[in-house]
Amino acid sequence: MPSLSVNIDHVATLRQARLESFPDPVQAATAVELGGADGITVHLRNDRRHITNRDVELLRATVKTELTVEMAGTEELVRLIARVRPDQVTLVPELRSEVTTTSGIDLLRERRKLEPVVQRLKKAGIRVSMFIEPDTAQVEAAGVLGADVVELNTDRYSRGWTRKPALLDELVRASGAAGAAGVAVHVGHGLDYRNVVPILQKRVAAGYSIGFSIVARAVFVGLKDAVAEMRRIMEVYSCERC
């Protein structure tokens, strides 16, 4: 049964839209766990546009499942996160102008810069994941860097999955390359209650990072139930007889 980590950034985005103290992503994490999630994911950006240092530190103290922090590999963030020690760090590229992360890290270009970052995080006892494009060369580079996990970027798949079956095949090939490299496979970005099904049926990944679609669904049914609905889909479509 694959794991589900729910990204709660958009709860913090709503809070920051009015510069209020609510809704609190720390409280949201509790509802997410009650809904059956296996973990909580947050993106700590350099500009702290939604998740803050306070959020990460309180989540580390209160999350009962697993805490993943997405971040760029900057000196400031590495120093902070090595102290907080979440269960996993997912290294992502970051642009100030972007609304959300859309592309994976180019490990072929960034490898030398990321090597000391990976070493420092692993020395702190943190599992290291790389958010990359579903490309076999990128997967192999992640293995060479010592990554424990690759998170395959499903942005292009999520946008074109009904029209371009080859996008799913791309994920399947990248997953196979990760298996050969001894690296665990997660997927994330743009996944929702419909487009996640083919990925589950192909057994592409051991872990799923899903945020916006769940938080959006929660507007109508509540966060706990929105997570439980996704959890049920994962249970049905990843079963052995499907």
Catalytic residue (choose from 10, 43, 50, 186): 43
What is the four-CA torsion angle of 188, 190, 192, 196, rounded to 10 degrees? Answer: -50
Query: Positive or negative, the Cα torsion across 46, 50, 54, 59?
Result: negative
For the question of residue 186 being annotated catalytic, the response is no
- Catalytic-residue membership of 98: no
For residue 55, CA distances in Å to 112, 113, 151 come to: 31, 28, 23
Name the active-site residue from 33, 70, 94, 170: 70
Q: Among the options 10, 50, 186, 189, which is catalytic?
A: 189
Instruction: Confirm whether 50 is a catalytic residue.
Output: no
The residues that are catalytic are: 43, 70, 189
